[in-house]
Amino acid sequence: MRIGYFTQTFPYKNLETGDLTEPYIGGGVEMVAYHLARQMAARGHEISIFTTAIGPDTVVEDYPGITVIRYGRRFSIGHSPFSPEILYRPFFSGERPDIVHAHMGNHPAPLIGCLYAGRETPFVVTYHGDYSSGFGGPGRRLGVYLQNAFLCKKLLARADTIIALSKEQSGQSDYLRDFHSKIRHIPNGVAIEDFCTPYSKAECIRRLGLPETGRIVLFVGGLTPVKAPDVLIKAMKHVVEEFPDAYLVFVGDGQMKGELVRLCRSSGVEDRVRFAGFVTEEEKTLYYNAAEIFVLPSVLTSESFGIVLLEASAASLPLVVSDLECFRAIVEEGYNGVCAHCGDPADLADRILSLLKNDEVRDRMGKNARKKAEAFRWEKVAEMTEDVYAGLIGG
């Protein structure tokens, strides 16, 4: 089977070895495309990936079973590179896939995938979540408005199959409710081995330069209103009053960082919080394995799944999340984590403290989280996705 993937950005990783080839920080959508491409190539399919480069030159990368075409960037919208060439050059690439699969992250790649498929080639869309226009600069807000007003439903209407990440996501989405008849539920996956380390927790803490007597509470993600890092800082004020050796680490960056630094000072917790910024994949694994608890207190329903919850689970961390419906696809209350009232710092603090104070419960939930992650291995996700393709082309 020949498969064409359209994604606005794609990791700079060697698709044979998994090694980073360029210093580049990406997000969840492109990592899904990356892992699916590797899995599909391993299953004997021919993969073409149409995406945008971080530099000005168009580059073609050839691997066994996979061709990556990166069209040269001319400018960026927010953090997303934009290439005028992706608007037309795929049509002259000579690639003739049997199926086109677009990942609905940033545009225009998903739209071009739709046009490239035309009416003859089966078209699959993975819907990674509703777009929130409530934050960001003018460019991002305009892009989200255009996406929501003109593109989203048209792309979903054209798709032969829509892949939603969970029943919970499709139930809460403002845009999927009209398309339930062609939705397949296939979750994001996790490469569990990527989040294992030979080092002990104490050694991970030492290598990262974290307080050796601290209990690490970890957040991984963008410092954006969707993720509610401010709620977590307000919760930490309560946590450290009862548990003075608690220490919060933010891995990731975003437009809220300055505001969050000021909030730490005004809350009196600046000496109990670290902003690690963007880190390498190796460093991220160390942070997961240095932590006692993972927290994701998101407040907007544009949150859809939470790949970081699977990553934390792979590292045997108990999960503390807000009670958004979408997180229930991963978090089972009392089994592998706990849910706090959305946007409530006091309740979030109580949930964090309940785990910090009880080593036995925390350890049990961490082990259960690791067991839960097994159901989300990329091999299983690829098998379900391959079934979708085969159903559309009659294979």
**Same domain assignment for residues 269 and 297:** yes
Q: Residue 140: is its pLDDT beyond 70?
A: no
pLDDT digits (tens, 9 = 90+) for 242-280: 999 999 999 999 889 999 999 999 999 999 999 999 998
**Same domain assignment for residues 366 and 386:** no
**Same domain assignment for residues 359 and 255:** yes
**Same domain assignment for residues 135 and 223:** no
Provide DSSP, 11-35.
--B-TTT--B-S-----HHHHHHHH
**Same domain assignment for residues 43 and 178:** yes
pLDDT of residue 145: 63
**Same domain assignment for residues 214 and 166:** no
**Same domain assignment for residues 266 and 206:** yes
Q: What's the mean pLDDT in 289-300?
A: 94
**Same domain assignment for residues 368 and 385:** no
Q: What is the CATH number of the domain that holds 78?
A: 3.40.50.2000
Q: Residue 84: is its pLDDT beyond 80?
A: yes
How many folded domains does the chain comprise? 2
**Same domain assignment for residues 203 and 109:** no
Q: Which of 318, 128, 316 is nearest to 226 (CA)?
A: 128
pLDDT digits (tens, 9 = 90+) for 195-222: 999 999 999 999 999 999 889 999 999 8
**Same domain assignment for residues 319 and 204:** yes
**Same domain assignment for residues 199 and 287:** yes
Q: What's the mean pLDDT in 140-156?
A: 70
Q: Which of 126, 68, 55 is nearest to 95 (CA)?
A: 68
Q: What's the mean pLDDT in 62-83?
A: 88
Residue numbers of the domain that contains 148: 2-189+377-393
**Same domain assignment for residues 46 and 141:** yes
Q: Which of 308, 292, 289 is nearest to 354 (CA)?
A: 292
